Amino acid sequence: MTNSILRLDASLRETDSYSRKLADDLINELTKQETSRVINRDLANGIPLINSNWIKANVTPFNDRTQAQHDQLALSDQLIEELKSADQLVVALPIYNFGVPATFKAWIDLVSRSKVTFTYTDTGPKGLLTTKKLYIIVTSGGTQLGSELDFISDYLRHIFGFIGLSDITFIDSTRLGKDTAGTLLNAHTQIKEAITDQNRPMI
């Protein structure tokens, strides 16, 4: 059976991007393990922001939507289908101004849909996506993951868990501006360890 990997690139730098290069390395390691199909979703190529027409279409029951409303939700439907069809996710995510890139937030808004990827129950919200392995590569020039200035890791755990994705491994490649070579070496070590852990048999 072919393993399916969804790769998301959020860096607006299409060349000389550390997050993209590390994602290449991680994908190479993952595809060594088994036959894999990689779905590439480059958010730098344009992810539209949701607007009032999109929100109205989203809250309209499926059978009551006009064709224009179905068209409004077409990209969202496609992005959600990519998520559903993937066995593993690789997210290459730089930190911009202490937060996630706007293109990534736009993607989150398009895939977080009530009764599609999450629902509310008597005991609280429930994610509707099946559990998948999620790798998040985080890069920054100076903001350190896990520090008091890290405002994204808890957000990422929460929002992905909200739609049902809770098996998350972070690849920390932050503070590249302080020690580029050492940070990249450590990131590659984390990638190797993550793949080793994934392939370790259950006891």
Per-residue pLDDT tens digits for 17-37: 999 999 999 999 999 877 889
φ and ψ at 74, to 5 degrees? -60, -45
Q: Model confidence over 69-86: pLDDT tens digits?
A: 999 999 999 999 999 999
Rounded to whole angstroms, what are the CA distances from 178 to 31, 93, 143?
31, 18, 10
Residue 58 in tokens: 């989203």
Q: How confident is the model at residue 202 (pLDDT cuts 50, 70, 90)?
A: very low
At the top level of CATH, the class of 3-199 is alpha beta
Cα 73 from Cα 44, distance rounded (Å): 20
Rounded to whole angstroms, what are the CA distances from 32 to 35, 98, 197?
8, 34, 15
CB atoms within 10 A of CB 190: 19
The full set of domain ranges for the chain reads 3-199
Rounded to whole angstroms, what are the CA distances from 173 to 75, 95, 153?
31, 10, 13
Q: How confident is the model at residue 124 (pLDDT cuts 50, 70, 90)?
A: very high
- Computed from CA positions of residues 7, 20, 161, 77, in that sequence, does the dihedral angle turn out positive or negative? negative
* Close Cβ partners of 114 (under 8 Å, ≥ 6 residues apart): 58, 120
